[in-house]
C-alpha cells in the first residue's frame, strides 16, 4: 500500500501547485510545504538570488537535499518546484515515498498565468512572450516523461474545489 503521509503535487511553473496544495492540506488537516519556500528559508535568500549567484546546478542539489529531508514528515502536502521531479532521480524518491499528482496544463494557458510573474521565476527572466511560449513547450516536452510517472494525472484547468475533492477520493481509494 502507498504511503499516504506524503502527498506530492508536481507540474510545470504556474500550474497552481501551491494554491491547490494549501487548500488540499486544509481539507486533509495535513501540513503544507512548498519546496521553493523551504529552500529560500534555509538559504535566507530568494530562489532568483540562488539561481543568479550560485547557478542552476547548486539549486538542484538544494532541491534534492530538501526532498530527502522532508521524506520523514508525516501528514504533509508538498508542492514541488516545477523542475524538482526531473532531476537527480527525485521522481523515483517521490514515487517510493508518497502519493503523487501531476497537475497537467497546456503551455498557452500556463503562459497567460506566468506573464506577469517573470521576475520571480529565474528561468523565465527576460524572455518575451513568443520566445517564452516556444521555450515552455520544449521544456514541458522534456519534462513530460517525469511528470507522467505520477500516480494520478489531473486536469489543472479545473477549479480548486473540484481538484481537492478529486484528490481526496483518489487518496481514499489508494
Q: Which residues, listed in sequence order, are joined to residue 101 by a DSSP beta bridge?
A: 9, 152
Binds ligand S3P (CB under 6 A): choice among 71, 123, 153, 171: 123
Cα(156)–Cα(167) distance, integer angstroms: 12
* Cα–Cα separations (whole angstroms), residue 11 to 14, 46, 69: 8, 21, 21
Q: Does 127 bind ligand S3P (CB under 6 A)?
A: no
Q: Does 47 bind ligand S3P (CB under 6 A)?
A: yes
Binds ligand S3P (CB under 6 A): choice among 21, 82, 98, 156: 82
Q: Does 111 bind ligand S3P (CB under 6 A)?
A: no
Smallest distance from ligand S3P to CB 36, Å: 5
Q: Does 110 bind ligand S3P (CB under 6 A)?
A: no
The x, y and z cell numbers of residue 158, run together, are 479545473
Smallest distance from ligand S3P to CB 78, Å: 11
Name the CA dihedral angle for 144, 146, 148, 153, rounded to a multiple of 10 degrees. -100
Smallest distance from ligand S3P to CB 11, Å: 7
Given the rule CB under 6 A, which of 75-83, 99-107, 128-136, 165-173 is the region that contacts ligand S3P?
A: 75-83
Each residue of 135-144: b (16+ CB within 10 Å) or e?
ebeebbeebe
- Chain centroid offset of residue 87 CA: 13
Q: Does 85 bind ligand S3P (CB under 6 A)?
A: no
Amino acid at each position: 500500500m502507498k504511503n499516504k503521509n506524503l502527498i506530492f503535487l508536481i507540474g510545470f511553473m504556474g500550474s497552481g501547485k501551491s494554491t491547490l496544495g494549501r487548500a488540499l492540506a486544509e481539507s486533509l488537516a495535513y501540513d503544507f510545504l512548498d519546496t521553493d519556500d523551504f529552500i529560500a528559508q534555509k538559504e535566507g535568500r530568494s530562489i532568483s538570488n540562488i539561481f543568479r549567484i550560485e547557478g542552476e546546478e547548486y539549486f538542484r542539489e538544494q532541491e534534492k537535499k530538501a526532498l530527502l529531508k522532508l521524506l520523514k514528515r508525516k501528514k504533509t502536502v508538498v508542492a514541488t518546484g516545477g523542475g524538482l521531479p526531473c532531476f537527480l532521480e527525485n521522481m523515483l524518491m517521490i514515487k517510493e515515498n508518497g502519493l503523487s499528482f501531476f497537475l497537467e496544463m497546456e503551455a498557452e494557458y500556463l503562459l497567460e498565468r506566468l506573464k506577469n510573474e517573470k521576475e520571480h521565476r529565474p528561468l523565465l527572466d527576460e524572455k518575451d512572450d513568443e520566445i517564452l511560449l516556444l521555450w515552455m513547450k520544449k521544456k514541458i516536452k522534456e519534462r513530460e516523461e517525469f511528470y507522467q510517472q505520477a500516480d494520478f494525472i489531473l486536469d489543472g484547468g479545473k477549479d480548486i474545489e473540484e481538484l481537492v475533492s478529486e484528490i481526496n477520493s483518489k487518496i481514499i481509494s489508494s
